[in-house]
Structure 1
Amino acid sequence: MNAVVLLSTRRLPPTYFDQVREDLGDQNITIDVVGWVAPSAWVADKVNTFTLIGPGRMPAQPAPEPEPAVEASDEAPDAVIAPEAVAAPETVVADEAKIAPAAAEVAAAGSSSAAPSAAAPTAAPAAAKPRPTGAKRVVKAVEWRARKARKVAGRMLPKAIKASAPVKFLRGQRATNDLGKNYWERVLSRRDVMATIDKADVVVALDAGAIWAGWNLGQRKASTPVVLGLPAARREFDQLKAPAGNG
């Protein structure tokens, strides 16, 4: 069984590893990933190992789906009412005759004893904060204009500069270089990562941030192909399979 190590600085979805197996032409291939960022979801069922060497944490395993509830097939029996619990019609009429006068007396007593409540005094509105006058007013105005000028200057000029193609290119190159160096330093400092790479048949740098690590690994491990991208990895695996097929 062939083994491949993927070097990545981007967030990979679980479905990506299905595409890797399809592009490499081997569904039984062993995939180990050295990632700078965690995958977008749980990938333990997609890869052999996923070693996170950058910031963040790995996604938690999803909770298992609850089993469907079993519905009872038998209906509950109707409630049985004891004959002695049912009141006779004449008893109900007598009780209603007793309740009606009592309710009228209670209503009359409540209406006579009710008195209009006194209106609660309302709180006085808070006094408005006095505005600055004289020299304080001039100082406040100058400070406000200075803050506004700084906001306008910081919003207009940098935006025009940042939108230019040369600045975008230089910033992108600098960010990629910094990420590439940090990624390689982390790979080199992890014994478990280097041990995984030593067992690989092919090492693949998937993106620009992993190129520097791939180049350094290629200088250190001449016996293991280190390539950029899956098409180049496919050619290496085809060459590994070729001697067995010709024999």
Structure 2
Amino acid sequence: MSNVVLLSTRKLPPTYFDQVREDLGDQNITIDVVGWVAPSAWVADKVNSFTLIGPGRMPAAPVVEPEPEPATKPTDEAQDAVIAPEAVADPETVVDDEAKVAPAAADVAAAGPAPTAGAAASTAGAASSTPAAAAKPRPTGAKRVVKAVEWRARKARKTAGRMLPKAIKTSAPVKFLRGQRATSDLGKTYWERVLSRRDVLETIDRADVVIALDAGAIWAGWNLGQRKASTPVVLGLPAARRELDMMKVPST
């Protein structure tokens, strides 16, 4: 059974690993993934391991809902309602309760009318008349100079962005350069994170083939190929398929 390690900086769906096994021509192949981005869903049943070395967290396992309990069959005869004796009020108790309510109503009438809306509003206004917060003091001395320099720098960046024509900012060469710079930065960060993880390096040492799946993982793949020449490090699944087929051919 062959063991492959996938280096990826993109979000991979669980179905992608089925495609990997099909493209490599071996359904029993062992797959370990070193990903910068977590997969789009639970993949524990698709791969041997998925090590996340970038930001974020792995998706949670799907919740298995319990099976509903079988409902009981209703009976033809309804049960007779049973009323507890203490739930029935005694006539003498009702009379005593009415006698207690009458004096309470008389006390409410003697207390006088409720305060008007105007009086309530004036009371609320008096309560809310709190002193205003003091204004934040302006920076002085060296702090004022620093704030002024920061403000001028922000204004200069905005002015430069407006002066650059939109046709140039959205042109294909500018987009290509920005994409290349972002990919280069991600590739270096990905490789540094691989070097800092002992568990990742141990997983790579056990691999028969290491596959860099995208542009962000090329730099890590090239460095791994320089460090360990005995393990093939390739770009893409077709190249990995050729390496695995060569391993299956008996040497003469």
Same fold (TM over 0.5): yes
In the TM superposition, 1:89-238 aligns within 5 A as 120-121=117-118, 156-157=162-163, 160=166, 161-238=168-245
- Aligned twin of 1:62: 62
In the alignment, what sits opposite 1:79? 79
Distance, in Å, in 2 between the alignment partners of 1:80 and 1:11 is 63
Distance 1:201-1:76 versus aligned 2 partners, 3 A rule: farther
CA deviation after TM superposition for structure 1 residue 153, in Å? 5.3
Task: State the percentage of identical aligned residues.
Answer: 73
Q: How many residues align?
A: 204
Provide the C-alpha distance between the structure 2 equivalents of 1:221 and 1:182, rounded to a whole number of angstroms: 20
What letter matches 1:184 in structure 2?
W
Q: Distance in 2 between matches of 1:68 and 1:222?
A: 57
Alignment partner of 1:243: what SS?
coil
Higher radius of gyration, 1 or 2:
1
Task: Give, in angstroms, the shift of residue 80 of structure 1.
Answer: 2.8
State how far apart, in whole Å, the 2-side matches of 1:200 and 1:118 are. Answer: 84
**Cα RMSD after superposing both structures:** 3.7
Residues 76 and 204 from structure 1, CA distance in 2 versus in 1: closer, same or farther, beyond 3 angstroms? farther
Per the alignment, residue 16 of structure 2 pairs with 16
CA deviations on 1:129-172 (whole Å, 9 max, x unpaired) are: xxxxxxxxxxxxxxxxxxxxx7x957754571421222211111
Distance (whole Å) between structure 2 residues aligned to residue 201 and residue 39 of structure 1: 23
Task: Name the residue aligned to 1:43.
Answer: 43
Which residue of structure 2 lines up, in the alignment, with residue 53 of structure 1? 53
Q: Which amino acid aligns with 1:181?
A: K
Q: Secondary structure at the match of 1:51?
A: strand
CA displacement 1:51-95 (0-9 Å, x = unmatched): 11111111111211221231113436313368xxxxxxxxxxxxx
TM-score under structure 1 length normalisation: 0.68
Cα distance in 1 between the residues matched to 2:193 and 2:173: 30
Q: 1:51 to 1:73 in 2, by over 3 A?
A: same
For residues 166-197 of structure 1, the C-alpha deviation after alignment (integer angstroms, 9 at most, x for no partner) is 22111111110011011111111211111111
Matched, 1:26 2:26: yes
For structure 1, the 5+ residue unaligned runs are 83-116, 125-149
Distance 1:81 1:222 in 2: 86
Q: 1:80 to 1:238 in 2, by over 3 A?
A: same
- CA displacement at 1:237 relative to structure 2: 1.2
Q: Structure 2 counterpart of 1:215, which letter?
A: W
CA distance in 2 between partners of 1:61 and 1:187 (Å): 26
Gapped regions of structure 2 (runs ≥ 5): 83-113, 123-154
CA-to-partner distance for each residue in 1:176-219, whole Å, 9 max, x for gaps?
A: 00110111111112111111111111100000000001111111
